[in-house]
Homo-oligomer: A and B are copies of this chain.
Amino acid sequence: MTNEQLAQRLRDHDMRPTKQRLAIAAHLFDGTDKHVSAESVYTTLKQAGIHLSIGTVYNSLRHFADAGLLRAVPGLGDHLTYDTNIGAHHHLLDVDTGEIIDIPALSQPVTSADLPQGYELEAVEITYKVKRTS
């Protein structure tokens, strides 16, 4: 995705395409799905020679999520995780390693037989986020 495409994507969501946001967006939307935290984005960019203040990273990710460009996924670790895959899918969390694996949204509940080989099911957390119909 070109810089101009990223900028347009931000404008489409009523966000000004600042240098900082473009740097974050370039990392997030590089074509591969990612699970990130503010800290991981900050570190990744720093290693690429791009310095942003950590506060800006926190604020930007929150805005991206509010704008619908990211999906916030709590409960995958000690921090708020953002998922660049905003389509319908769910998460496998390795409770020992913290590793997160995407799985497609199935029409049947997952059983141990549906897991990637070498994994066993420990627990399932399902939260349906609802609103009162107005």
Counting every copy of the chain, the complex holds 2
**B residues within 8 A CB of A74?**
74-75, 125
| Interchain CA distance A108-B109 in the complex, whole Å | 6
With A109-B109, A126-B125 as contacts: A131 and B75 at CB distance below 8 Å: no
**A95 contacts chain B at the CB level, 8 A cutoff:** yes
Chain B nearest CB: distance from A99 CB in Å?
Answer: 9
Could you name 7 residue pairs across A and B whose Cβ atoms are closer than 8 Å? A74-B74, A90-B125, A93-B130, A95-B131, A118-B133, A122-B129, A125-B126
- Partner of A92 from the list B73, B93, B108, B130 (CB cut-off 8 Å) is B130
CA distance A122 to B109 in the complex (A): 19
Within 8 A of B (CB), among A73-97: 73-76, 90-97
B131, A115: Cβ atoms closer than 8 Å: no
The 8 A CB mask of A108-134 against B (1 = contact, 0 = none) is 111000010011111111111111110
What is the CA–CA distance of A110 and B126 in the complex, to the nearest angstrom?
A: 10
Instruction: Contacts A74-B75, A94-B130 known; list 11 others, CB within 8 Å.
Output: A90-B125, A91-B126, A93-B128, A94-B131, A95-B131, A109-B109, A115-B128, A121-B130, A122-B129, A124-B129, A126-B126
